[in-house]
Amino acid sequence: MTYAAAGVDIDAGAELVRRIQRLSKDAFSGVDIGGFGGLYPIGGDRYLVSGTDGVGTKLKVAFEVGKHDTIGVDLVAMSVNDIVTLGAKPLFFLDYFATSRLDVDKAEQVVKGIIDGCKGSDCVLLGGETAEMPGFYEEGEYDLSGFAVGIVDKADVIDGKGIRVGDKLVGLPSSGVHSNGFSLARKVLQVSDLSFGSPAPFGDGRETMGEVLLEPTKLYVRDVLRLHTGLKLRVKGAVHVTGGGFYDNIPRCLPDGVGVKIYKGSWNVLPIFNWMQDVGQIAEEEMYRTFNMGVGFIMVMSPEDAEEALKECKDASIIGEVAREEGVAFA
């Protein structure tokens, strides 16, 4: 199985970003689109930082399982984890909730998750939009999107410019599949003998497949800011491992002329990924280009700061290093 065969073309998305970059450069001087977030100068050597996202077809799992109180955490996490890659402290979040017919109780559960996500990343839910669009969505379904705005001092911006060969990659563990790759994950479940209500065939058997897949995206804001601005352990580059996995996301934080070498076996690949790869007969490269594989966030740091970071962040590990050869290689 492949992500493209499941209906998601990562290459097409990357091509659209390239075209948007060309259009934006023609229209707005000094604007750089294509990173995890966007910087906007506000004077006094500070920037506003903004990012926007949704939760993809993980929503389909929430519909099938009938659980809606954590999908809002995913929504917040997808944006705040993006903007903290630039060193930004999230200030506020706004959401967009759209459905054919408003179910107030269900919508309240979703918003509860959004508020939980905001509290967990030390920002506030400032407002949003609820759209009732009869006939546009399937009965009982809804769509979600949102955006976060944060702030960072110029001196604290994480921009990758100081990255050097030999710097280490500190990986922070993921909580599960997070919010990417679900078109492929749902295809794997379809070809297995399991349903969302089936006990997961890994772990202690107390969780169902639906519960495993709905595990909320981990929030990394507090850990990253505590290291970078609190303890002054300099994060030179940062990666939120989302759509595109290792191969497409890690190069986004690197300067030209360098790549990374990933140490295979240096962290715990979560059982859900091993199960999906086996059942779906998915090539290893495809897995690492689609899923986070147990690493949800990566920080590029000097060897000395990386060792200190391991002492401060539970279950963090050094998963690789910056190499002379461009691209992402595994060793």
The one-letter code for the residue type at 313 is: C
Per-residue pLDDT, 204: 74
180 vs 183: CA distance, rounded Å: 8
Name the H helices within the chain: 10-27, 58-65, 71-83, 104-120, 182-191, 209-213, 221-225, 245-249, 271-280, 284-290, 303-312
Answer whether residue 137 shows pLDDT above 70.
yes
157 vs 31: CA distance, rounded Å: 16
Task: Tell me the per-residue pLDDT of 19-30, one tens digit each, with 9 for 90 and over.
Answer: 866 766 665 555
Task: Tell me the per-residue pLDDT of 214-247, one tens digit each, with 9 for 90 and over.
Answer: 999 999 999 999 999 999 999 999 999 999 999 9
Assign 66 a pLDDT band (cuts: 50, 70, 90).
Answer: very high
Q: Choose the weakest-confidence range: 3-12, 67-76, 102-111.
A: 3-12
Which residues, 6+ apart, have CB-to-CB distance to 146 below 8 Å?
Answer: 52, 53, 54, 75, 76, 79, 93, 94, 95, 96, 114, 128
User: How many other C-beta atoms are found inside a 10 Å radius of the C-beta of residue 23?
Assistant: 11
Mean pLDDT of the region 33-48: 85
Assign 33 a pLDDT band (cuts: 50, 70, 90).
Answer: low
Dihedral sign, CA of 87, 93, 98, 103? positive
Per-residue pLDDT, 27: 55
Dihedral sign, CA of 203, 59, 291, 160? negative
Domains and CATH numbers, the chain: 34-156 (3.30.1330.10), 168-330 (3.90.650.10)
Per-residue pLDDT, 11: 76
Per-residue pLDDT, 183: 95
Q: Tell me the chain's radius of gyration from C-alpha atoms.
A: 20
CB burial of residue 220 (10 Å; 0-12, 13-18, 19+):
buried
Q: What is the 3-state secondary structure (H, E, C) of 81-128?
A: HHHHHHCCEEEEEEEEEEECCCCHHHHHHHHHHHHHHHHHCCCEEEEE
54 vs 56: CA distance, rounded Å: 6
Task: Tell me the per-residue pLDDT of 280-330, one tens digit each, with 9 for 90 and over.
Answer: 999 999 999 999 999 999 999 999 999 999 999 989 999 999 999 999 999
Answer whether residue 99 shows pLDDT above 90.
yes
- How distant, in Å, are the alpha carbons of 21, 30, 128 from that of 26? 9, 10, 31
Task: For the chain, give the percent of residues with pLDDT over 90.
Answer: 86
Per-residue pLDDT, 2: 80
N-term to C-term CA, the chain: 24
Task: Tell me the per-residue pLDDT of 154-211, one tens digit each, with 9 for 90 and over.
Answer: 999 999 999 999 999 999 999 999 999 999 999 999 999 899 999 999 977 789 999 9
The string of DSSP letters for 139-180 reads: TT-EEEEEEEEEEEEGGG---STT--TT-EEEEEEPSSSTTS
Kindly report the CA angle at 309 between 303 and 312, in degrees rounded to 5? 160
Answer whether residue 31 shows pLDDT above 60.
no
Q: Any idea what DSSP says for residue 29?
A: T
Assign 61 a pLDDT band (cuts: 50, 70, 90).
Answer: very high
267 vs 173: CA distance, rounded Å: 8
Q: Which of 316, 115, 117, 319 is nearest to 218 (CA)?
A: 117
66 SS3 class: coil
Q: In what order do the strands lie in the sheet with 327-330?
A: 237-240, 295-301, 168-173, 317-323, 259-262, 327-330
pTM over 0.75: yes
Assign 34 a pLDDT band (cuts: 50, 70, 90).
Answer: low
Per-residue pLDDT, 144: 98
Q: In what order do the strands lie in the sheet with 89-99?
A: 38-43, 46-54, 142-153, 89-99, 124-132
How many CA atoms are closer than 13 Å to the CA of 19, on its beta-carbon side? 6
User: Tokens 């749902």, residue?
Assistant: 186
Partners of 295 in the beta sheet? 173
235 vs 219: CA distance, rounded Å: 17
Task: Tell me the per-residue pLDDT of 253-290, one tens digit each, with 9 for 90 and over.
Answer: 999 999 999 999 999 999 999 999 999 999 999 999 99
